[in-house]
Amino acid sequence: MNLESKIVHIGINSDKKTGAISTPIYNTASFAHPALGKSTGFDYTRSKNPTRQVVEDGIALLENGSDGFAFSSGMAAITTVLMLYKTGDHIILADDCYGGTYRLFNKLFTNYGISFSVVDTSSAKLTAAAIKENTKAIFIETPTNPMMKITDIAALAGICKEHNMQLIVDNTFLTPYFQRPLELGADIVVHSGTKYLAGHNDLLCGVIVTRENTIGEKIRFLQNATGNMLSPNDSWLLIRGLKTLGLRMEKHNENAGKIAKWLSTQPHITNVYYPGLLTHPGKKIHDKQASGCGGIISFAVDDAARVPQILSRVKFIQFAESLGGVESLITFPACQTHMDIPLKIRQQLGITDKLLRLSVGIENSQDIIDDLQQALQ
């Protein structure tokens, strides 16, 4: 079955007794036991719920993994992954990552004796050089947020295998529709499901998919032990959002390609960061491992004073944090999503007071361009 069909058929007729096309919402905390020592497979919703199981099995199918898990947020998912490690362990983290991920490493898990190094993982050589005797994992985003740097997943998977480490990939930007890191050798994939998977700016959720059941069982234990799972109602919303993932990603991709090219021609724009552009330094690697470029564009303007001008003048595009919804959103990473990144690192990466990040929606592309044009004038 093609991926587009797999997406649409998540949860269809999952309730064999009724034949319901739409997955029912099993809004119950407890399940009755048939007899002493017997179970229907469901005992308590924290451990397992039929609605959540549908979305967890579905995302595992799309990522081609062994086990899928749905959490209350993307950060809850990443937190659970980091709980696989213990005091004394070292993790390599992509230097250009979401600010919340950096904050989690720097301000929380360091308190428990887990150390980390920030590395430009788009360079396999620099990444390999950062490995220590106690390094247990490499955590990457590709494309990165917000500078859209590309990391060679297969190359880093090979390095991890050689050193008996795990490769963790945040696949939020591209989703399994455009990129499947587990097929390239990654061990764990995480998503802020709030973004493209749910797709409508109305649901907070996170996802983990593992390549092998041995890691999956550890995640399952942590999910149940900490109680950090997605509710039945929100699981149903995620299922519904996933149904249109293929259609939405195609439109995001189409629109972003047009808008990135247009931005590249504008006199007040000095840099456009989008892997679909021929000038992108990581395009060759990106095209090797992904089938699309997604809907996120970052761009720098010629004058910092132009940033508040754009943010105050956009009318069609919404000035808001987050990304991946059907509506176009624009944000200012240096003061919003990446404020927890130290200033020196932000400046080295290019996350300056001139950088904006655009989450391109599925509206008519010309309407998005027209709004940007009037805001730039």
Kindly give the pairing relationship between strand 90-94 and strand 135-141: parallel
Q: Is the peptide bond before 143 cis (omega within 30 degrees of 0)?
A: yes
The CATH code for residues 246-376 is 3.90.1150.10
Q: pLDDT (tens digit, 9 = 90+) per residue, 213-258?
A: 999 999 999 999 999 999 999 999 999 999 999 999 999 999 999 9
The segments of the chain whose pLDDT lies below 50 read none
- Specify the CATH number of the domain 3-242: 3.40.640.10
Instruction: Please pick, among 48, 52, 95, 98, the residue that the annotation labels catalytic.
Output: 98
**What is the model's pLDDT at position 44?**
95
pLDDT of residue 14: 86
DSSP summary character for residue 320:
-
Confidence (pLDDT) at 338:
80
First to last CA, the chain: 49
Considering 95, 170, 187, 371, which one is annotated as catalytic? 170
Is 170 one of the catalytic residues?
A: yes
Backbone φ and ψ of 175, nearest 5° = 65, 165
Pairing assessment for the beta strands 329-331 and 355-359 based on DSSP bridges: antiparallel
288 catalytic per annotation = no
Q: Could you give the count of Cα atoms lying within 13 Å of 87 in the half-sphere of its Cβ?
A: 3
Marked catalytic residue, from 52, 149, 180, 195: 195
Annotation marks residue 46 as catalytic: yes
pLDDT number for residue 202: 96
Q: Structural domain boundaries of the chain? A: 3-242, 246-376
Looking at residue 350, what is its pLDDT?
Answer: 87
* 45's tokens: 């919703």
What pLDDT is recorded for position 16? 84
Q: What is the pLDDT of residues 82-92, one digit of tens each?
A: 999 999 999 99
CB 127 within 8 A of CB 119: yes
Partners of 94 in beta bridges:
119
Which parts of 167-305 fold into alpha helices (H)? 175-178, 213-226, 232-242, 245-263, 283-289
